[in-house]
Amino acid sequence: MSVRASATLPSPAVSRRQIAIAGIILGAIAWVITIPPIHVRSLVPSIILAVIAVCAGAWSAAGGERKLGIEAIVLAVLAVAGAEASAHSALGTLESVFTWSALVAATLRYMTPLLFAALGGVISESSGVTNIGLEGMMLMGAFWGIYGADLLHSWVWGVIVAMISGAVLAAVHAFFSIHLRADQIVSGFGIIFLALGITGYFLEYHYGPNGTPLNISMIPNVKLPLIQHVGFFGIAIGDANLMTWIGLALVPALTFFLFHTRGGLRLRSVGEKPRAADTLGLPVLRIRYAAVIASGVLAALGGAYLSVGFVGSFSNDMTNGRGFIALAAMIFGKWKPWGALWATLLFGFGSAMADRVSSVNPTLGTLFEALPYVVTLIAVAGLVGRSRPPAADGIPYVRE
Amino acid sequence: MADSAPPVLELKGVTKKFGSVVANDRVGFDLQRGEVHALLGENGAGKSTLMSVLYGLYSPDEGEILVDGEPVQIGSPSAAIKLGIGMVHQHFMLIDVMTVAENIVLGQEPVRRGGVLDLKAARARVRELSERYGLAVDPDARIEDITVGAQQRVEILKALYRDARILVLDEPTAVLTAQEARGLTEVLNRLKADGTAIVFISHKLSEVLEVADRITVLRRGKRVETVARQGATERSLARLVVGRDVMLAVEKTPGKPEHALLEVRDLCVDDDRGLEQVTSLSLTVRGGEIVALAGVDGNGQQELVEAIAGLRSPESGSVTVDGRDIAGRGVRSATDAGVAHIAQDRQQRGLVLPFTLTENLALREYRAPQFSARGWLRLGHMKERAQKLLREYDVRGGGPEAYAAALSGGNQQKVCVAREIASDPKLLIAHQPTRGLDVGAIEFVHSRLIAERDRGRAVLLVSLEYEEVRALADRILVIYEGAIAGEFPPDASEEELGIAMTGGHARQAEEVNG
Amino acid sequence: MSTLDEELQAEAEESGAAAARSPASLTAFRRGLSGVTIPILTAILAFIGGGLIVLATGHNPLTTYSSIFDGTGLNWLFPWVSGSERATAAGNLQQTLIQATPLLMVGLAVAFAFRAGMFNIGGQGQYTLGGIAAVWVGSSFRGMEPVLHVLFAIVAAAAAGGAWAGIAGVLKAVTGANEVITTIMLNWVAIWFGVYCFQLGGPLHSSAHDMTTTPVSNTVVNGAKLPVFWGSAALQGLDVGIFIAIGFAFVFAILIKRTRLGYEARAVGFNPDAAETAGMSAGRTWIRVMLICGAFAGIAASLDILGWKFDLFTNDVQTSQIGAYGIAVALLGRNTASGTTVAALLFGALLTGTSNRNINLSIDPTLVQYLTFMIEGLIVLLVSTDVITLRLIKGGRQLGLAVRRRPAAAAAPGPDQGGEK
């Protein structure tokens, strides 16, 4: 560390940075104006906007804001492609795809499981344990949630059993990563395989080839009495699942916990510099155990939402990579709860869009399915250096 | 306080072993209320281990610890904190992304109902403490944004916040500027007056004589003697520390400088965060001379060395090696121009620990036609050369197929030195080449550097050790805040150098030259 | 050891902690260990763990495992197995080797990245791209010289897989994006791209008349098929792909040990700072390594396509688990060529042995399939930390020592490094 570390920072390229962001926004607008409710039926305005965005991006990229600038350019190109597609689609088709109220509702549905798992990831990684096994923990929650709801005839019990199952699997990951100082990424993979095996095995063992029963007690939707029938809002949020609301409520709650409570301060200290926490007498390993297990519980809740809250049954590997998406959302969201929310909303929106597009044009819909991953790829590449993981993330703590 | 009162702290016969190595061998130590008791010894003498035992980080194999005359078991840092022991570690135990107040209260946070942090109370308490002891800090600043000196004040406040009566400072001045070090001495005096007992760990004789009331010298894990400051001199202490009269000066004839091999002109280099660390620096090293770059750590040495070695692109200025400009052209072009670089941190930068010695010894020159052709390695040649070098440099602990990780620090350093010298460089950069080595290894490295000089190479030695600089250099350049603060002959006094190294007037330096 | 140096010790601890993160350092540590004992012991422990679950759910693990063993065809190696039983065994063994072929190639793709300090989770995507390229080349260019056609398809697959992996390499080198995340994302993009290609109306959808309602590619032409050398081609006998894969295991070993790229890759993997100090470019090395990894995975797909699959359904693209298995194979094989080969054979056997048609009716075949996942999970978990397995070996050795020469062992000072040599 430098003696003169406190010397005034040289002024960063603020203006270039702002121009790059403006470029990104312009790029987005270039596409947005071609879809309902605005739906400009000409490509010209979009192209003009996109060209401006490209120039802004190129200028800021040349001036040192490379990542943001390039992002602006990429986005502008994508926007023109999108505008092209909208301009060539029939108005009716466009309107059936961009039924905003239904899109919002679908976005929330797709977001919910991701949000729970991503918040779980935030907790675990804040304490310094990489949890790539979120996928497995979700899967456990999905299966054992159905099993509990079926066996005990109540979705409440289903959710509780799901949480326990997630906690147990997370405890295995915790034991390997904290006590045995395993490579946490490898251990996380082991956890996923284990969960695939266990859920598949017990699905077959308990339910055989017929699958889970049909009359499962399911997590109810919350019918908002006032706005349930109010047009846009009624469709968008008037009838969302209880878990969606819980997940959304968890975002401020977790933020408050992490940054304004004693427990949160200690949790973060262990994730940043466990040795410092240890010299102050904090039980580093115990805090990490608690955090990993909590993350397992949250991921399992996400899984339980999928099975007990949404589909009403369990099928093999039904999480289908959502744990990884949640992981990406957590990174995308800079290891913060609010960030995770925005990122999962983006992914949710992508999936919702793909759904709508598929219903009109299956071929195009398939490509749309890939869009959120492409966006993540660009975002992850662009965000590096700007976001900082907890300093001790993924490093086992050894005292002597 | 009456003389009959038991010492605040007493260690009796403390022994701590790591495997077969005895770090502390029946060490005794006592500390009175309101005194500064220095623990003096070379690197590796067992000072930090002893204090880690005291702080509950290591459990002693034998021996007894008494606090206020009562035997105690200190099984963990929290037990130590409860007994009123506070510790300022050499590597700060601070969390960079958190604020000063958060760091200070961590573990004993003031809370409102439901575990909600009461940051207002925390801030108030921090202000109160910082005013009482003259430890100026801003409770809301983030650790990563404040100076090293301020970080140390935060560490002291952490201990005081926990009502420490016994304060252990581990090499507290190593990272400080002279001014900050003076500030620290003032703080210590205030704490003393307040009745706090202080253990001051150091390997620097002069500062120990300045701050301590009593001095205990450790050597190779054993207590040699405890002396009062009155009557102790640097010379008497040095004899105790080393165990014989200090004879660090290596046999060496005056250098015979030839033409300039390294020319650095108006070099400006930024660090990773974009702060300028080397400011329009110029220096020249000729063949056949050792130029020592002396200075307090963190004054731009790292960035300068990296810029010359090709690891970092300078913002402006030129680096010329024997007529070739290599500034900002990468390591390979520096190597091709004849630069060899004994890196400061052998484990982090000098060696690939899981590689064999053969593989490590080839790192600098593996692309040369002798060792690889058309993408294929010539393993036979690599091994042959490794065998020769290991013999020549008397590396012990394994043959060419042994892993570097299996060697002791001294032997690892010999491997680094052997590799760099074997590349037949024009310029050899030695960045703290003897850090953490024992006396025998230090002598070996020193004699090799002189031998290289005598073969007409240019040697740039970057060192924080005053003795090393004086023993090796033909010319001494002092670096301060990224610029050369003066040039001195090898027989310059410690005081002269000290003034230059801490930003004293360049006028004095000129007088010396004149 | 000379004097104890606290500063160095603290440093060693720090660098040890940092090293604990990087898979490559794990590799180094483990290569120092006995190369055979640990993987075998790991596998045995995992099988015991799986057996316990079988037992807990009311089945006999011994009969289950012996049935799996017969299903692998490994009983063909026993001279006393004869007649129709022997014919069945031969067929099963051919399937085991067919399964092992891509596992080995994808395992190498993961292992090579590991050696350069990267975790290549993108084997799945690279395999998918390779498959698309192989099936396109293999089903086009009718009438091409057979040997050339096969080579062309393999090279195309290698290029496609390499390019796909190269994206992750470039992103890591240029922006520092973590390859774990980017390769996962690339996997999904590849899968959806594959589905897009072969779905009804997709650009590579079959042009055959009877396939208009099936989402499948065109079929590889006869000239581009790999020759079968054991068993009948009609019954999916063993093609020469396994030899190609084993050949690449040798290529891998030579690449790692004897070439400049391998040397640079390992240096960067173990210690990027030291590599940089020596004048290597970590970024360029990462890109090159990823290109090669992707090529390995792409070739894996081409061997499947040209050897026995001959076409690709969208369903194949979506349900393939080869990337995940490849990771397990590389980890169990400790990222060495020989270890990966053995691990690929083990997993190939496990997959074949637990496939539906090979299980007798003493246990529900679907259950046994999931048993494979559990065993795989346990293996990966055990591999993630060698502590458990090490303790067992150490315990065993100490026991042995104690029996043989107790006084000497008791007198020997210093830390016991029995298990680490």
- Same domain? For B234 and B307 the reply is no
pLDDT, tens only, B172-207: 887 776 677 888 888 999 999 989 999 999 877 778
End-to-end Cα distance, chain C:
18
Partner residue facing C192 (CB), from A327, A367, A380? A367
Alpha-carbon distance of B20 to C413, in angstroms, equals 7
CA–CA distance from B251 to each of B441, B447, B458, C84 (Å)? 16, 8, 19, 87
Residue of A278, A353, A380, A397 to mutate when probing chain C, most C C-beta within 10 A? A380
Task: Using CB atoms within 10 Å of the CB of residue A214, give its burial: 0 to 12 exposed, 13 to 18 middle, 19+ buried.
Answer: exposed
Q: Is the peptide bond before A390 cis (omega within 30 degrees of 0)?
A: no
End-to-end Cα distance, chain B:
55
Using alpha carbons only, give the angle A245, A249, A250 rounded to the nearest 5 degrees.
120
Nearest residue of C to residue A202, measured between CA atoms: C367
Q: What is the pLDDT of residue B173?
A: 81
Task: Compute φ and ψ for C265, nearest 5 degrees.
Answer: -60, -45
Mean pLDDT of all residues in C362-369: 75
- For residue C265, which residues of chain B lie inside 8 Å, CB to CB? none
Contact call for C274 and B348, based on CB within 8 A = yes
B198 inside domain: yes
Q: What is the pLDDT of residue A246?
A: 96
Alpha-carbon distance of B81 to B87, in angstroms, equals 9
* Domain boundary pick from B179, B210, B242: B242
- Same domain? For B286 and B326 the reply is yes
B353 inside domain: no
**Which chains are within 8 Å of B by 3+ CB pairs?**
A, C
Query: C355 is written with which tokens?
Result: 């496939």
> CA of B366, closest CA in chain C: separation in Å?
8
Give yes or no for a contact between A204 and C367, defined as CB atoms under 8 angstroms apart: yes
> CA of C107, closest CA in chain A: separation in Å?
14
Position C177 pLDDT exceeds 90: no
CATH of the domain at B175: 3.40.50.300
A206 has a chain C CB within 8 A of its CB: no
Contact call for A3 and B177, based on CB within 8 A = yes
Query: B427 is written with which tokens?
Result: 């310029």
Task: Compute φ and ψ for C98, nearest 5 degrees.
Answer: -60, -40
CATH class, domain C34-395, is mainly alpha
Contact call for B55 and A279, based on CB within 8 A = yes
Question: Which residue in C109, C138, C124, C103 sits closest to C190, CA to CA?
Answer: C124
B394 inside domain: no
- Same domain? For B74 and B189 the reply is yes
What DSSP state is assigned to residue C403? H
Q: What percent of chain B has pLDDT over 90?
A: 47
DSSP H helices, chain A, are: 14-32, 44-62, 66-88, 91-97, 100-126, 134-151, 155-174, 184-207, 231-237, 242-260, 262-272, 274-279, 284-304, 322-332, 337-360, 362-383
> CA of C416, closest CA in chain B: separation in Å?
9
pLDDT, tens only, C369-402: 888 888 889 988 888 876 666 666 655 554 444 3
Segment among B144-148, B161-165, B438-442, C394-398 with least mean pLDDT: C394-398
The residues near C126 (Cβ < 8 Å, ≥ 6 apart) are: C109, C161, C162, C164, C165, C190, C293, C294, C297, C298
**What residue numbers bound the domain in which B188 lies?**
9-242
Contact call for B97 and A388, based on CB within 8 A = yes
Position C33 pLDDT exceeds 60: no
- Same domain? For B273 and B183 the reply is no
pLDDT, tens only, B291-330: 999 887 778 899 999 999 999 999 999 999 999 999 889 9
Per residue, the 3-state secondary structure of B297-323, as one string, reads CCCCHHHHHHHHHCCCCCCEEEEEECC
**Which ipTM score applies to this complex?**
0.82
B304 inside domain: yes
Query: A322 is written with which tokens?
Result: 């959502």
The one-letter amino acid code at A71 reads E
- Residue holding tokens 């420490």? B164
The residues near C243 (Cβ < 8 Å, ≥ 6 apart) are: none
- Same domain? For B299 and B181 the reply is no
Kindly report the average pLDDT of chain B as a whole number.
86
Q: What is the pLDDT of residue C175?
A: 84
What residue ranges do the domains of chain C occupy?
A: 34-395
Which is higher by pLDDT, A375 or B59? B59
Q: What is the pLDDT of residue A66?
A: 74
pLDDT, tens only, B230-285: 888 877 887 787 665 555 556 677 878 888 999 999 999 988 777 788 999 999 99
Name the band, by pLDDT with cuts 50, 70 and 90, for residue B3.
low
B384 inside domain: no
End-to-end Cα distance, chain A:
25
CB atoms within 10 A of CB A370: 21
Position B512 pLDDT exceeds 60: no
Q: Which residues partner with B270 through β-bridges?
A: B276
> CA of A368, closest CA in chain C: separation in Å?
9
Alpha-carbon distance of C421 to C383, in angstroms, equals 18
Residue of A199, A201, A330 to mutate when probing chain C, most C C-beta within 10 A? A201
Partner residue facing A385 (CB), from C176, C180, C371? C176
- Same domain? For B29 and B170 the reply is yes
What does B352-409 look like in DSSP terms, one character per residue? -TTSBHHHHHTTTTTTSTTTEETTEE-HHHHHHHHHHHHHHTT--S--TTSBGGGS-H
Partner residue facing A3 (CB), from B103, B114, B299? B299
CB atoms within 10 A of CB A92: 9
Kindly report the average pLDDT of chain C as a whole number.
81
- For residue C15, which residues of chain B lie inside 8 Å, CB to CB? 347-348, 353
* Domain boundary pick from B242, B268, B288: B242
> CA of A367, closest CA in chain B: separation in Å?
41
Nearest residue of A to residue B93, measured between CA atoms: A276
Partner residue facing B436 (CB), from C7, C258, C271? C7
What does A125-159 look like in DSSP terms, one character per residue? HHTT---TTHHHHHHHHHHHHHHHHHHSS-HHHHH
Partner residue facing C53 (CB), from A201, A363, A374? A201
CB atoms within 10 A of CB A187: 28
Q: What is the pLDDT of residue C202?
A: 85
- Same domain? For B236 and B316 the reply is no
Contact call for C2 and B410, based on CB within 8 A = yes
Question: Which residue in B276, B286, B280 sits closest to B317, CA to CA?
Answer: B280
Alpha-carbon distance of B371 to B383, in angstroms, equals 10
pLDDT, tens only, C101-150: 999 999 999 999 999 989 899 999 999 999 999 999 999 998 889 899 99
- Residue holding tokens 């923990």? A137
B195 inside domain: yes
Q: What is the mean pLDDT of each successive set of 10 residues along chain A, which is 400 residues long?
A: 39 68 86 80 85 87 76 83 79 75 91 97 95 95 96 94 97 92 87 93 88 89 81 80 96 96 95 92 94 97 95 90 89 90 90 84 82 81 68 80
Alpha-carbon distance of C133 to C305, in angstroms, equals 10
